[in-house]
A and B are shown apart, each in its own frame.
Chain A
Amino acid sequence: MHSVVCIKQVPDSAQIRVHPVTNTIMRQGVPAIVNPYDLFALEEALRLRDQLGGRVTVISMGPTQAEVALRKALSLGADDAILVTDKAFAGADTLATSYALAAAIRQIGKELPVDLVFTGKQTIDGDTAQVGPGIARRMGLQLLTYVSRIVEVAPERREIVVERRAEGGVQVLQTRLPCLITMLEDSNRMRFGSLPDALRAARQEVRHWDKTAAGIEDVTKIGLKGSPTIVSKVFTPSPRAEKAEMIAIEDGSPADLAAALLGRIAARFPGVEKELAQRA
């Protein structure tokens, strides 16, 4: 089994702050991490390799700093890492990103045929959940999104069975290899990397592919030019005009506070009062 796992380096959005006066993002010092959702994809690929043999290649498109994310993946057990990096990719939206990644994965396939492509469910900065479906479409692969479990892989029959989270239930799907899987979060637990892998990751080469090496055929489909969407405006959410009405009573007991709160809800929110009356 040869799996390719797409990982993206993202800013840790939990640590992003908006400047209270200028309303701009304070990006300095915000650490870059591997998109957390992609780790579930990586772990699943590693498990298949451990079970069936084969290799796991990780790939990322981004600036040279994104090599750090790939090294992290190597230290967790991935076998090879490729960074698709070129100024021509800058400003890519998901459509242009999936075009570039699909081309690069085809190149990987020329070295060693690819059985499975994995992506995370979504990124925490782009958040579109579109790059996975986009790659599948462009490569003509069967698409399995929101996979919660890989039930069975039969390499000799070129078949795979998975469970997919759907609205109102779980679909058990069977399809043909190669295919693309977007892995649902919390579907597995990421391993701790081993010491030998950590040592190997520090030394191993991360190959950098520019647009030629990545096999890009149509340069109008990458970067800003290949992106049908643009961000026309960025702004901070408007704060609610009024802050909370604080319920406070000097020397009040919890019971007094509770009673006061119920009174204020009844006074200000008749809709809530009506809802409560229905439940009586």
Chain B
Amino acid sequence: MSEPTAPVKKKRKVVLDQRLQAYRGVWVYIEHERGRVHPVSLELLGEGRKLADTLGVELAGVVMAGVDAGAEARGYCQTAFEYGADLCYLMQSDVLGEYRNEPYTQGLTDLVNAYQPEILLLGATTLGRDLAGSVATTLNTGLTADCTELAIDPDDRSLLSTRPTFGGSLLCTIVTLNYRPQMATVRPRVMAMPESQPGRTGRIVEHGLLLAEADIVTKVLEFIADDRRDTPQLPFADIIVAGGRGLGKPENFQLIRDLAKVLGAEVGASRPVVQAGWVEADRQVGQSGKTVRPKLYIAAGISGAIQHRVGMEGADCIVAINNDPDAPIFEFAHFGIVGDVATILPALTEAFWVKLKRQASLPPQEEAA
């Protein structure tokens, strides 16, 4: 990406080289993990569908997998169809069993050169960023990371990628000049999840990879899977209770956990609290933490700095508790309570407990009335 510090160039109409005009279609890289398509790929299919429709071109998924994935790989293609893809490019090979930079870069580069898409989107995951950076360099084309908005310039069909810069204080729109494909990554939970259309199908285009294990330098010695029980799935939680420095001391973080427990919510945190070691690093919400999109986000003792805000402003309903009436978080929360976390949090825990218990004891019909 260009430095935002560089003077902003007035965008001139891009006239593409003859050779590049052949590049057509929107691609989404379909990431999968242990038998299931990564949600970010589905979110990207939703966004890719809109771009493809605007351009009047097809939307394709790209599925790369080991040969032993067999039927599963076709299942990933089917999922892509149900979320909007018209076709899928399927590449299976022995060397694609576990993700490694070298064979995946070669495979995706081969596919791009063979079928020439104008846009290629990947999730901004550890895999997507690793792969996108290598592929863009190999193809000598532009890549915009962590976009929050994608659109088509009606004048010249180019992709307008908008992303936060300077830690989120500003947004900038990046265009790729005379290079194709135009590449972008998007973080999980930034784009909305599209509805699936069960039964929708499409065509599969298979393509081989000419690479043998002996050609590949890097070997995976072991994969240590995270223990699902204690790795928080923050990005996909529907309710999050998050605490910040305003809690004052580590013991007070228990007030956050208590409320989260009553609500069946995940616990989140601002960065200073993570850095002080009050909670694990993977609970950090924000620019250098996770992007979340819950239905309800309760922020207690969090000032609402831009780096925190960019990670959670997609929540449907934000409740802020802060003893400073001028705290920035009140600028964008839906509800605010000015008060001390030490008294407000326990009161909320109690109130939600009573409410949920009462609802639980109501017969379902009455509850709906």
Contact = CB atoms under 8 A, between A and B. Distances in A.
12 contacts: A137-B133, A142-B101, A172-B224, A173-B221, A229-B2, A231-B1, A244-B320, A247-B336, A255-B351, A269-B295, A269-B296, A272-B296
**B interface, size bucket:** 35 or more
Interface stretch (A40-48, A103-111, A123-131, A209-217): A123-131
Interface stretch (B52-60, B202-210, B341-349): B341-349
B279 interface: no
Contacts of B134: 133, 136-137, 143
Nearest to B180: A228
Interface in B145-171: 145-146, 160, 163-171
Contact of A231 (B6, B334, B367): B6
Interface stretch (B71-79, B82-90, B110-118, B124-132): B124-132
B144 A229 contact: yes
Contacts of A143: 101-102, 130, 134
B29 to A, nearest CB: 13
Interface string A166-199: 1111111111100000000110000000000000
B323 interface: no
A137 B336 contact: no
Contacts, number: 312
Given A142-B218, A173-B219, A228-B142, 8 more contacts: A143-B102, A167-B33, A229-B2, A244-B318, A244-B320, A254-B339, A262-B355, A268-B334
Interface of A: 11, 13-14, 16-18, 25, 90-95, 98, 124-130, 132-134, 136-138, 142-146, 161, 164-176, 185-186, 224, 227-237, 239-240, 243-248, 253-255, 257-259, 261-262, 264-265, 268-269, 271-272, 275-277, 279-280
Nearest to A90: B6
A91 B33 CA distance: 38
Contact of B129 (A91, A145, A176, A234): A145
Contact of B146 (A127, A169, A172, A229): A127
A231 B137 contact: no
Interface string B356-369: 11111000000100
